[in-house]
Amino acid sequence: MFAFAQTNVDLVGQWYNAKDDIVITLFEEGQTVSGKVTWMKFPNDENGNPKTDLLNPDVSLRNRESVGLIMMSSFAHIAGNVWDNGRLYDTKKGKTYTGIITLKDANTLNLRGYIGLSFIVRYSSTWTRYLDEYLIGKPTTKKRNLLIQLTEDLNKIIKKIENEKLLIQLREDLNEIIKKIDELKKAK
């Protein structure tokens, strides 16, 4: 029954990639499904700057930040638990493929990228749905995610300091970070 009653709503939501280091949010765009990167375990490079789309064949797009990047678009529900004929951008290679998504169950999908015929696979990955229970089951992941969020918050504050105009906002942001640190300490 699962395979025959699917709609775009069944695919929409947040998904971890195979390595659990990126969350991709799938959303409806008209009659199709698209996806963008909404969280990364390591969003910044070794210099503390946001990672960008360095391998994009279009030089003018290489400064796009990875978080927020649309990496998939136009996946159309064709039948059962399959969405096909989408565009899939692989940032690690700077390549765009035709993509197909197969929803294996409510919380697992298989994503394949291909050139030409769908059996000539260039990219394949299994993703799991982001669920609060997933984090509850892994307390170390929850703490690590909180620390990553704190790092991102500090980077935002540093950018505000560079503007030199938002010192009042800086004080409020620092107080919020102190609260998060206190929560993390209590969780130990």
Token pair for 16: 């971890």
C-alpha 54/C-alpha 123 separation (Å) is 19
C-alpha 71/C-alpha 64 separation (Å) is 12
* DSSP codes of every residue in 137-171: H-HHHHHHHHHHHHHHHHHHHHHHHHH-S-HHHHH
C-alpha 29/C-alpha 35 separation (Å) is 9
First to last CA, the chain: 44
Distances (CA, A) of 143 to 136, 149, 182, 188: 10, 10, 12, 9
Q: Return the number of other C-beta atoms located less than 10 Å from residue 76's C-beta.
A: 14
C-alpha 69/C-alpha 62 separation (Å) is 11
C-alpha 110/C-alpha 19 separation (Å) is 14
Token pair for 125: 């990955």
Q: Quick one: fold of 2-130?
A: Lipocalin (2.40.128)
Residue matched to tokens 């050139």: 115
pLDDT in tens, the chain (188 residues): 344 446 888 899 999 998 888 999 999 999 999 999 999 988 988 888 899 999 999 999 999 999 999 999 999 999 889 999 999 998 889 999 999 999 999 899 999 988 765 556 567 889 999 875 444 445 555 565 566 667 667 766 666 666 655 566 777 777 788 788 877 777 75
